[in-house]
Amino acid sequence: MAKDSILKVGSNEMELVDFRIFKKEEKGVYEGIYGVNVAKVREIIKIPNLTELPGVPDYIEGIFDLRGIVIPVVNLAKWMNIKEPDDGSIKPRIIITEFSDILIGFVVHEAKRIRRISWKDIEPASFVAGMGSLDKSQITGVTRIENDDVLLILDLESVVQALGIYQPKIDVNDADIEIIGGTALILDDSMIARKLVSDALKKMGMRVVEAKDGMEGLERLNELYKTYSDRMTDEVKIIISDVEMPQMDGFHFAANVKEDERFKNIPIVFNSSISDHFSELRGKEAGGEAYLTKFDESIFYKEVSKVIKSHVKKAQ
């Protein structure tokens, strides 16, 4: 999918595809409003001829060949246990997504438009009502749009993990892990993702401080500075940050860190499910030393160790 507009690094904005899922109810049809980060969308297409797979759940519509790549297709409405309208009113499309280096298609009832929204206007999911199989862990955040309607930003990789299509790669022998020590700050709005990263860093002998978004991350850095003061750069070895986070995203957080004399020399590694080259470039522009795709434990150890060693060498 073409990126027609370029988001400025540090702008704390995101672009998302607004799509709809319609639910048939006794009183009529309910219109569910959802969004997914444009950075995760490869393209949007009409439903092609699908090859059905035997013995799979009914929400797996089948597979198809997209220019030599076999793409599995998930019907979001069926997975969410939503009764679809049968009056021919929906205009189904497949949103082809790419994250964590995998491609997967999601059937939606209508692809509406592209919206640009500030992360500060996005709140964590505090409630989920009438959304079928969805729970809070599968929603990045919620925001208000026109007519005071609520748009839910879906965390599609959590959906894919729940379906068993993708799982993190955790297969490293502890004996191969280099003990580094020091303190690490990790930022991620996903409790599951924070635990994966935290467990990995603790195996490296590091003390871990956690934050749920960029705003909280800045608060944690200020707290650490009160503890370490002039020793801050020596004690805090690395910051591991997600990109998509409510209130303040990872790029905006990094821009703030690099503008602060107290923190600018602490290396930042982005750890995100967004796997497109454009986001990787934005990460570098924001001051990141590396950009990793969630979550391959072996690559994580290798890159984090390399970044920390390079940081120590420069400081000497």
306: domain CATH number is 3.40.50.2300
Query: Is 206 inside a domain boundary?
Result: yes
Q: What is the pLDDT of residues 28-46, one digit of tens each?
A: 889 999 999 998 999 999 9
117 and 27 share a domain? yes
Q: Residue 129 sits in a domain of what CATH number?
A: 2.40.50.180
Q: Examine the domain organization and report whether 96 and 214 are in the same domain.
A: no
The residue segments making up the domain with residue 179 are 174-315
Q: Specify whether 159 is located in the same domain as 27.
A: yes
Are 179 and 310 part of one and the same domain?
yes
Residue 168 lies in a domain: no
- What is the pLDDT, as a whole number, of residue 163? 76
In a domain, 308, yes or no: yes
Distance CA 36, CA 44 (A): 12
Residue 2 lies inside a defined structural domain of this protein: no
In a domain, 6, yes or no: no
Is residue 158 domain-shared with residue 178, that is, in the same domain?
no
**pLDDT of 152-179, one tens digit each?**
998 877 777 777 777 778 778 776 788 8
Residues 203 and 287 in one domain: yes
Domain count, the chain: 2
270 vs 154, higher pLDDT = 270
Same-domain check for residues 43 and 134: yes
Q: Is 46 among the domain residues?
A: yes
43-90 pLDDT, tens per residue?
999 999 999 999 989 999 999 999 999 999 999 999 888 999 987 778
246 and 130 in a single domain? The answer is: no
| Mean confidence (pLDDT) of the chain | 88
Same structural domain for residues 116 and 32? Answer: yes
User: In terms of domains, do 82 and 157 share one?
Assistant: yes
What are the two backbone dihedrals, phi and then psi, of residue 80, each rounded to the nearest 5 degrees? Answer: -85, 5
225 plus 305 within the same structural domain = yes
Residue 130 pLDDT greater than 50, yes or no: no
Domain membership flag for residue 8: no
pTM of the predicted model as reported, rounded to 2 decimal places: 0.82
